[in-house]
Structure 1
């Protein structure tokens, strides 16, 4: 079942044994309504995507979920004039933190998880241990929070494959609370600031960039974060076999150069000099 640009109802209870997939895109929450609660104990695949102007989705029972994709983006309540009153921004973020923690707990037994940049913005949200084996992170190069990414990785000790898909699309405006968390996370040293963790099952890491933006004169900070994240993984994956860096664009229409491949090629060369815990790990650059 797929619902796009839907509006109005406050609960979904799915007891069918045959319905295995639910996709929700661009849900619009009515003003002053309660959370959208989802109770679907036999569902195997769940996808929530699009623009959520007010995150109120609560997973009540999704105990059979195998594959979950949470790749939506969230606007601060300050961007919703009909909802915003005074200092409610701070209270809104606390509610969102609680929902994030609850929903991830409900997905702890999923084998495959795809998470968007939205999760990394929630600095300090405790995450219960996940049984995920295949983890995909769809991140905005400038906007993802290193602290949030580290927390999600630390909660995924059973992961076997990590895919990191980076984009450089235009960002929506951020409130002061989000900008502060982002700055604090960016300044974090993963190697010394994150408790020791080893990914004993991690064999494959893949970083893919298919950006349409010109990278010649900007996103330097984003590549620094990607470099830190890559070094963190190399140092903590003792059975790692392959680390792929993939460029999906050959020529930039803005600078008429292959700026994306040039950046990624330099990143690959840099990673070759990093220490790694696996003696069999190979760094591969592809375009």
Structure 2
């Protein structure tokens, strides 16, 4: 539960203005807020580590965190971007069933955290809320998949961060339920001018992280996974373009916008998070 110093209504007001939580009914949002907790992360403290499956999602209430990607070629972390108020972390690993996010507080951060089980439950029970995540790919997810693809191509020189930021803007997601999928139907469903990478699950002989190749010999492919299979499609050569708004990104507005005369939540009002992200 949240700290007694903080009003639950303040958290609810904040989430009601934060996509895609603004898609939830007041009743559903109230039930969700009851499961939330506010935690403080000191500068330099990790919110998520790529090696650990997230045990929660975190919505930045105040402060900034730096999102890092792990380059499989160099075995090093790469700074991707700063995340700020109203942005959501941890969801990609939970949705994929594969941890992929590293985020470190670059200032003192106040985050609204929601247990993984509660997040996954509302994802299933609230279709429009779930679509916002299932039909969208995270920057960490894109970086991880393209890092594996460049490693397969023995490409050690391309600027992975630049390629990722470009590809992310135009990436498309296709979710496939468990069962047999006819290859002819799949070929029609997938845009032919994209490369398709398996983000989660297994599709025939193509495991998570692999590049899907439909050769026409197999009449159908078996889809297996806790939530089926998730494919992400990228253009072969993404053209440079300005960064577009991301529906799961926050705004630069302050955390207290729209909260009326209620006193703002400060770092001293909330308990400090564990030094390291908890083990799953």
Sort the TM-score into its range (normalised by shorter chain). under 0.3
TM-score relative to the length of structure 2: 0.25
TM-score relative to the length of structure 1: 0.25
